[in-house]
Amino acid sequence: MKHYFYRISSFLLLIFIGLQLFAQEQTPSANLPVDADSKKIMYREVVEQQGTPEYLYDKAIEWFGYYYRDVQSVYTSQSKENGKIEGAGRMRVYYTDKPTGVKRDGGTILYQIKMELKENKFRYTLTDFNLKTASRFPVEKWLNKSDPAYNPNWDLYLYQIDTTMRRLISSMKDKMKPTVVKKDEW
C-alpha cells in the first residue's frame, strides 16, 4: 500500500512540475502598434474631449502629476500657449529566472510622451522606446524573432511595454474627462 501511495504521489508531483514549466513557457503575445512610415512602435490617438485648450492643458498637467511619481523629472517641455506637453518616461521590465523561479530585473525602458491640446480634443503620442544601455537600443529590434541573438525574454518585455502603455492611456483618458462637481443639497 505504501508503494502504491508513493507512486501516485510521484506521478502527481511530475504532472504538477510539468504544468508549472508549461505555464512558464507560455509568454503572452503583445499587440504593439508599429508606425508604417518610421517603423517604430507608436501609440497615437486623437481623443475628442470637451474643453478649451487651456482647460485641457490643466487637466493634462493634473494627469502627469497623478501618473508619474517624480513628474518634474519627466517633463522636457511645457507650453500652455502652444498647447503642448512633452516628456521622457521610463518603466522597468522583468523576467523570471528559470532555475530559481525568481523575478529578475530586465532593465529600464525609456520612451517619449507628447500631448497636444486643441479646442475640444487632444492627441497623445508615445514613441521612441529604448532599452537604457550605454548606447541607444531601440526595442523594435525585439520584434525580429529571426535575429541570431533572439532571446525569449524579448516577447515578455514587449508584452510588459504594451500592457503598461495601454494602462497609461486608459488612465490618461479617464483623468482628462471633466471633473464632476456634486452639489451638497440638504
* 163 inside domain: yes
* 15 inside domain: no
At 58, the amino acid letter reads D
3-state secondary structure of 31: coil
Which residues, given as ranges, of the chain have pLDDT below 70?
A: 1-28
Question: What does the pLDDT read at residue 1?
Answer: 54
* 10 inside domain: no
C-alpha cell at 23: 505555464
Q: What is the DSSP letter of 65?
A: H
* 134 inside domain: yes
Question: What does the pLDDT read at residue 4?
Answer: 52
Question: What does the pLDDT read at residue 183?
Answer: 79
d(CA 62, CA 68): 10
d(CA 149, CA 144): 10
Question: What does the pLDDT read at residue 136?
Answer: 83
* 8 inside domain: no
Distances (CA, A) of 33 to 42, 96, 164, 183: 6, 26, 14, 43
Residue span of the structural domain in which 100 resides: 29-174
Q: Where are the extended beta strands (E) located within the chain? A: 43-48, 75-79, 84-96, 103-118, 121-131, 137-138
Global pTM reads 0.80
If one counts the domains in the chain, the total is: 1
**End-to-end CA distance of the chain, in Å?**
75
Question: What does the pLDDT read at residue 31?
Answer: 84
* 99 inside domain: yes
Which of 112, 97, 93 minimizes the C-alpha distance to 157? 93
CATH number at residue 135: 3.30.530.80
